[in-house]
Amino acid sequence: MKFIKYFFLLLVALIVIFLIYVATFSSSYDVSRNKIIKAPVSHVFNTVNDLKTWEKWGPWHEEDTTIVVTYGDKTVGVGASDSWTSKEGPGKMETVAVVPNKSINQKIAFGDYEPGDIYWTFEEVSEGTKVTWGMKADNNPFIFKFFAALSGGWNNMLGPMEEKGLNNLEKVILETVPAAPKFSTSQVTTKELTEKNFIGYPHKTKINHEEMTKLFMQDMPKAGTYAVKSGLSEDDFIPAAVYTKYDETNNETEFYIGLLLHKSITPDKGMETINLPAGNSVMISKFGNYGDGDYEAHMKIDAYLKENNLKQNWPIWELYVNDPTTVKPEEIQTDIYYPVE
């Protein structure tokens, strides 16, 4: 009987000691894992940015088959959300900030507890894309600290889950990775340009490839038709776009779709005139379908500016040099200009 009594007292003492340990256990955590995935950064980013893909790679779906997910009105980008129920209780998540191909920030909440933070970063590396998945929170409740203490710490509790999720994400991405686009670029060069005259339809929108493509398909034919109606020949203008703002941090852009003129005409209704100033510009030629290789071309210019200690001015512009219906896809030429000081 004494043995049972002492054993019980020892057990109580151990429980008390453990509860005291849990009470003093850190209520904050910041745990992350990273992985290099052999796929374009845009594909990795787009997969994570779409909440509907999470059921395919989220590690918790394998561990709890009772999870039932309900999606919000939006599932991609800022404002995307979902919620779920399971035997472990309800939860919800929302995307609160996005920098295309760079980062995603989200809020996640379990039950009625305070939400924590999820953060993603995406970095283009020679092997593909380095993706980092992190979770952090402050002032976690006692029950969360209890399970973390049992697991040997926040890192031991959350890290393996993130590793498993990244491994699952890699499998999903490699099964759906698109064929590499066919494009090529020239060397980046510096040119001294004379003043140029441009007319175009203005737009202010979020940085969204699909939406911007729709605007180009809407306004570029309209601008070309207006040029012909105004008596211009093919040698009198070049289809072009002028960007006066491209803010990836706030996901905003302002640009014009229209014509670089070699012969002056009165702008169409809704068009505005922009004078592209004389001076030095850094330029590159990209050959390939519109949209293919654009990011890489702009990154080459960015690297050139840094290597040569050049400061970019605004606006920047693109010239669509030849008719895509008369040349092979790999011969479609886009000239990109960045004015510099």
Average pLDDT in the 107-126 region? 89
In 3D space, the residue among 281, 282, 287 whose CA is nearest the CA of residue 185 turns out to be: 287
d(CA 271, CA 223): 9
Whole-number pLDDT of residue 1: 52
Whole-number pLDDT of residue 10: 45
Listed in sequence order, the residues at least 6 apart from 98 whose beta carbon sits closer than 8 Å to its beta carbon are 49, 77, 78, 104, 105, 251
List pLDDT tens digits, range 155-212: 777 778 899 999 999 999 999 887 766 899 999 999 999 999 999 999 999 998 889 9
Domains of the chain: 24-176 (3.30.530.20), 183-339 (3.20.80.10)
Predicted TM-score (pTM) above 0.75:
no
Q: What is the mean pLDDT of the chain?
A: 87
- What tokens does 91 get? 């939860």
In this predicted structure, the answer to whether residue 20 has a pLDDT above a threshold of 50 is no
List pLDDT tens digits, range 1-11: 555 544 444 44
List pLDDT tens digits, range 252-295: 999 999 999 999 999 999 999 999 989 999 999 999 999 889 99
In this predicted structure, the answer to whether residue 147 has a pLDDT above a threshold of 60 is no
Average pLDDT in the 8-26 region? 45
